[in-house]
Amino acid sequence: AQSVAQPEDQVNVAEGNPLTVKCTYSVSGNPYLFWYVQYPNRGLQFLLKYITGDNLVKGSYGFEAEFNKSQTSFHLKKPSALVSDSALYFCAVRDTNTGNQFYFGTGTSLTVIP
Amino acid sequence: DAMVIQNPRYQVTQFGKPVTLSCSQTLNHNVMYWYQQKSSQAPKLLFHYYDKDFNNEADTPDNFQSRRPNTSFCFLDIRSPGLGDAAMYLCATSRVLNTEAFFGQGTRLTVV
């Protein structure tokens, strides 16, 4: 069975500091990995994805993520946090063995402190 | 410019009264999904369509049904809403496998 874990419910970081939001996954096939951001009472917005190729992927709003196969991780990073980055972040996985479903982690609430 | 549109944004229904939520897309994607999300929890997949093929998640209650009359539209029917069904319902679309899902803004359902 496929699963995604986000070990931190809450991450606080000072504005201008680097941020990391952690994600680990478990799949039976090859993983397709995604990060989404959600603002209050809104749908999910796509940030970036890893399908194949370079382990470091760059996405929207200056975010990037590193795929690490040996650690089964896909942590989201940004070199310099903005107050406007404060939101709920979800990691998601698609398992190539099981088809079209996206499965989401429990989410991490990021607060960037001015 | 909107790509996945959910109507209404807010829906109030009475306990036990059937309610339908709608979703439309302009992306011509094969796959359409319905997710239930409760207060800052992870979105929970209820079911999805791949074209006309319906795929129900094993733990989706029978109270939840879906229809996809054509590529562009998909409906979520809750036959007898209970208080526990109050949530944000998210519709999403994607092409197959190696592409991201695009989400609508969601419909927040309140059951009174």
Q: List, for residues B6-39, the tens digit of each pLDDT value.
A: 999 999 999 999 999 999 999 999 999 999 999 8
Q: Is the pLDDT of residue B2 over 80?
A: no
Segment A94-112 mean pLDDT: 85
Amino acid letter, residue A80? S
The alpha carbon of residue A107 is apart from the nearest alpha carbon of chain B, in Å, by 6
B51 three-state secondary structure: coil
In A7-102, DSSP assigns E strands to: 10-14, 19-21, 24-26, 31-38, 44-50, 56-58, 64-68, 73-78, 87-95
Q: Is the pLDDT of residue A93 over 60?
A: yes
Q: Is the pLDDT of residue A6 over 60?
A: yes
| Token pair recorded at residue A54 | 């370079």
State the pLDDT at residue A12.
97
Read off the pLDDT of residues A23-63 as tens digits, 9 standing for 90 and up: 999 988 888 999 999 998 888 999 999 988 899 999 999 99
State the pLDDT at residue B69.
96
Nearest-by-CA chain B residue for A94: B97
State the pLDDT at residue B39.
85
State the pLDDT at residue B15.
97
- Phi, psi dihedrals of residue A70, rounded to the nearest 5°: -65, -35
CB contact under 8 A, A44 and B90: yes
State the pLDDT at residue B97.
57
Length of chain B: 112
Read off the pLDDT of residues B53-102 as tens digits, 9 standing for 90 and up: 999 998 999 999 999 999 999 999 999 999 999 999 999 999 875 688 99
Amino acid letter, residue B36? Q
Nearest-by-CA chain A residue for B56: A101
By Cβ distance, the residue of B42, B48, B92 closest to A107 is B42
Q: Which residue has the tokens 């190539």?
A: A96
> Which residue, among A23, A34, A67, A102, would best test binding to B if mutated, counting the most B CBs under 10 Å from its CB?
A102
State the pLDDT at residue A58.
96
Nearest-by-CA chain A residue for B31: A100
State the pLDDT at residue B98.
63
State the pLDDT at residue B23.
97
In B10-86, DSSP assigns E strands to: 10-13, 19-25, 31-37, 44-50, 53-56, 64-67, 73-78
Q: A46 CB near a chain B CB, below 8 Å?
A: yes
Q: Name the CA dihedral angle for B93, B52, B75, B16, rounded to a multiple of 10 degrees.
A: -130
Pair B92, B35: CB distance under 8 Å: yes
**What is the pLDDT confidence band of residue B104, given thresholds at 50, 70 and 90?**
very high
State the pLDDT at residue B1.
62
Average per-residue pLDDT for chain A: 92
